[in-house]
Amino acid sequence: MSYQIVEKKEIASSVHMMKIKAPDVAKAAKAGQFIILRIDETSERVPLTIADFDSNEGTVTIIYQEMGKTTKQLAKMSASEELQDFVGPLGTPADVRKLGTVILVGGGVGIAPVYPQVKAYREAGNKVISVIGARNESLLILEDEMREASDELHVATDDGSKGHHGFVTDVVKNILDSGEKVARIVVIGPPILMKVAAGMTEPYGVETIVSLNPIMIDGTGMCGGCRVSVGGETKFACVDGPEFDAHKVDFNLLMSRLALYRSEESKCQENHDHKCTCRGEH
C-alpha cells in the first residue's frame, strides 16, 4: 500500500506542508501524536508530528523543515506522488481536557504540532491563548490558522520584524505577570526554547508541558535513542511521551544526546549531496 500526496507547498523558507491521503491514520489521530514515514524501500524512517488531520477527507497534514537528507528529498516531491510508508498515529495523545485558561506556545516549526492542540483545547471548553514565534516574520507559519483557532494570539520575532521584539517566553512572562489565572502552559519548539520556558514558568507554579519530539529517531522505543530523564526516571520520548512535565525533564541530558548524531547526519547529507551532483540533480 502506498500513500498519495494530495497537496504540497512551501509555507515559509525551507518549510513545507504536505497533506497525505491516509484514511486509517486520519480516523484514529488525536492531537499530540505523530507518524513515521518512509519515502521508498531504501529510505530511512522519519517520525514527524501530526500538524492536522481530517477524518472526513481521510488526510493527515505534516509540516517539516529541510534539515537532513530525507527532509530535503521530501521537499522535492510533488502532489500526486506517493510515499512508501505512512504509519500511525503513534505516541500518547495530548492530555486535553477542560482546565480554564491554557497558554500554548510554538517556536519555529514547533508551531505545527501546537496547532492541533490549540483546536483541541478550545473544543474542550478552555480559553486558549496562543503565543507563536520565529527568528523573523518570513519564518512564521500558520499565523492565520492559529489566530482563527485561538481566543488570543500573540506573535514574537527575534528581530522585531513582527509582533513582540524578543522571545515567546517574554510574552508568556508578561501574561503571567498581568495576573491572568493560567491552568496550564504547553510549549513545543527547539529544545533550548523548552528548557528556557521550563525555567521561566517554574517560579509561578504553573503546570508546564513540553513535547520532546525533536529527540525521536525510530519512534517505537526499540533504538533507545530518545531516552530522557524525567523526574530522575528514564523515559522514552516516543512511547512514554512525547509530552512530559517540563519541570521534571533533564534538558542538559536531552541536548547532549541530540548532539551525538550530528556527525552521522552530516556525513549522510554530504553523501546525498555528492550523489545528486554526480547525477546532475539540482
Residues 98 and 207 in one domain: yes
Residue 44 reports pLDDT greater than 70: yes
Cα torsion for 44, 70, 254, 203, to the nearest 10°? -130
Q: Looking at 70, 90, 110, which one is the last position of a domain?
A: 90
Q: Which residue has the cell 546532475?
A: 280
- Same domain for 98 and 199, yes or no, is yes
Per-residue pLDDT band at 232 (split at 50, 70, 90): confident
Written as one letter, the residue type at 223 is C
State the DSSP H helix or E strand holding residue 277, giving kind and residue range, or none if neither: helix 262-279
Given a cut of 80, whether residue 122 has pLDDT beyond it is yes
Q: In this structure, are 281 and 190 located in the same domain?
A: no
Task: Show which of 162, 194, 211 is a domain's final residue.
Answer: 211
Last residue of a domain, one of 177, 211, 245: 211
pTM score, whole prediction: 0.85
- Residues 69, 20 within the same domain: yes
pLDDT at residue 241, rounded to an integer: 66
Query: Maximum Cα–Cα distance for the chain, whole Å?
Result: 61
Q: Is 223 annotated as a binding residue?
A: yes
Assign 228 a pLDDT band (cuts: 50, 70, 90): confident
Please tell me the predicted confidence (pLDDT) of residue 268: 46
Query: Which of 234, 238, 271, 277 minimizes the C-alpha distance to 253?
Result: 234
Average pLDDT, the chain: 86
Candidate from 28-37, 98-107, 108-117, 263-272 with smallest mean pLDDT: 263-272
CATH number of the domain encompassing residue 144: 3.40.50.80
Q: What is the pLDDT of residue 279?
A: 47
> Same domain, yes or no, for 197 and 97?
yes
Indicate whether 112 and 85 sit together in one domain.
no
Number of folded domains that form the chain: 3
**Residues 276, 26: Cα–Cα separation, whole Å:** 34
Tell me the per-residue pLDDT of 80-102, one tens digit each, with 9 for 90 and over. Answer: 999 999 999 988 899 999 999 99
pLDDT above 50: residue 269: no
Which residues, 6 or more positions from 264, have their beta carbon under 8 angstroms from its beta carbon? none
Q: Is 56 found in the same domain as 98?
A: no
Position 267 pLDDT exceeds 60: no
- CB atoms under 10 Å from CB of 260, counted, come to 9
Percent of the chain with pLDDT over 70: 85
254: nearest Cα among 272, 229, 218, 275: 229
192 is in an annotated binding site: no
Mean pLDDT across the stretch 213-221?
56
Grid cell listed for 166: 524578543
Residues 176 and 134 in one domain: yes
**63 annotated ligand binder:** yes
Q: Mark whether 171 and 221 lie in a shared domain.
A: no
238 annotated ligand binder:
yes
Task: Identify whether residues 174 and 205 lie together within a single domain.
Answer: yes
User: Which set of grid coordinates corresponds to residue 128?
Assistant: 486558549
Q: Is the pLDDT of residue 217 over 90?
A: no
Ligand-binding site membership of 268 (annotated): no
65 assigned to a ligand binding site = yes
pLDDT at 242: 82
Read off the pLDDT of each residue in 257-269 and give the average, rounded to a whole number: 53
DSSP-derived pairing of the beta strands 15-21 and 59-65: antiparallel
> Does residue 215 have a pLDDT over 70?
no
Same domain, 221 and 152: no
Burial of 151 (0-12, 13-18, 19+ CB in 10 A): middle
Q: With beta carbons less than 8 A apart as the criterion, state whether 152 and 140 touch.
A: no
State the residue range of the domain holding 254: 215-282
**CA separation, residue 156 to residues 10, 141, 249 (Å):** 21, 12, 25
Residue 250 reports pLDDT greater than 70: yes
Q: pLDDT at position 282, please?
A: 41
For residues 131 and 190, membership in a common domain is answered with yes
